[in-house]
Amino acid sequence: MAEPDGSRLLGLDIGASRSRARLCTGGQITAESQGPSASLPAAGWDQAEAALTGLLNDLKLDPAQQLDAICVGSAGLSVPGAREFLHGRLAPLTRPGALTIVTDVRLVLPAAGLTEGVAVICGTGSVAVGCHDGRTVQAGGWGFLLGDEGGGYWVVREALRVLLDRRDHERPPGELGDQLLAATGATDLAALHRLVYQQPHRPVSWARHASLVLDTQDPAAAVITTRAADAVAALAVAATGELDPPISLPVVLAGGLLSHQAFRRAACQAVAQALPEAQLTVLAGEPVAGAIQLARQAVRSS
């Protein structure tokens, strides 16, 4: 719906693997851009700075026209310096107090047209946020070192654990091992093991192999898929239980890992079994639409 005052709003969705930006004027989309992750913990300072600069440059913003509001939803905000990084780059583009910075999962419910419910993101990592009666709670989202169960990095890590266990018990690596060795360029499991510890702080570099793991006919793939789906359901249950709503809340699933059809089916089934009364949907549009909606709310409340 067009804004009567022609407000210029900028929304950004910054995940651990990719970023998307949308510029709206008077309620109409006037420019969009996308690129690699501009999340400080996911990409590192230099790459995050370059990604964010590229994202904004592609929008061709008019420096003479100040934006009315900006909302950015970003992965990794709990890492020290991440919020300050975004604030320093984006605050000069809008009027004072008109920049909203939230975690990326907070974009899901408004993107689905909801103000209350439970949103679960399953991408490189995993996290759930529940909103009800003015309260907001979070479950998970602890990062790849401490949590992110069911996310892409976790899927690949579990596959690597299976392979190392097979090696320890003198069993062949199977199709799962053959596929991961080919994808990573490692010559054997020992080399693959070393590679994990040489690249521990770039979870996206491992999460990109999640679909490969889930696609194999290796028996371990089905087990990992089920466990990942159960982890998604556990996040939804945890957020719902923390809110303790008198009625069932809608549950919206989002994130890149849901593009894998078998995993999406398993996740939906697991959530439906765990929360049979919930209205379950998979986000059809882009979460960046939620950033625009939150920016619009900021303008209306100012």
Q: Which two tokens stand for residue 301?
A: 């409340």
Residues 247 and 173 in one domain: yes
Give residue 170's region: left, alpha or beta (phi > 0; psi -120 to 50): left
More confident: 170 or 42: 170
Residues 108 and 165 in one domain: no
Does 132 reside within a domain? no
Residue 173 shares a structural domain with residue 102: no
Judgement on whether residues 83 and 168 belong to the same structural domain of the protein: no
pLDDT over threshold 60, residue 229: yes
Joined tokens for residue 60? 């061709």
Confidence of residue 159 (pLDDT cuts 50, 70, 90): very high
Q: Which of these, 76, 71, 75, lies nearest to 93 by C-alpha position?
A: 71
pLDDT digits (tens, 9 = 90+) for 232-268: 999 999 999 999 887 889 999 999 899 999 999 999 9
Q: Cα–Cα distance between 269 and 273 in angstroms, integer?
A: 6
- 65: domain CATH number? 3.30.420.40
Rounded-to-integer distance, Cα 28 and Cα 122, Å: 29
Considering the domain architecture, whether residues 156 and 276 belong to the same structural domain is answered as: yes
Same domain as 213, residue 228: yes
Q: Which helix (H) or strand (E) holds 141?
A: none
Helix (H) or strand (E) holding 206: helix 203-207
Q: Are strands 280-282 and 251-254 parallel, antiparallel or unpaired?
A: parallel
- Yes or no: say if 152 and 208 are a contact pair by the CB < 8 Å rule: yes
Residue 288 within a domain: yes
pLDDT digits (tens, 9 = 90+) for 88-144: 999 999 888 889 999 999 999 999 999 999 999 998 889 999 999 989 999 988 877
Range of the domain at 212: 152-282
Residues 246 and 236 in one domain: yes
Asked if residue 106 and residue 19 are part of one domain, the reply reads: yes
Residue 127 lies in a domain: no
Provide the percentage of residues in the chain whose pLDDT is more than 70. 97
Number of domains in the chain: 2
15 and 36 assigned to the same domain: yes
290 & 178 share domain:
no
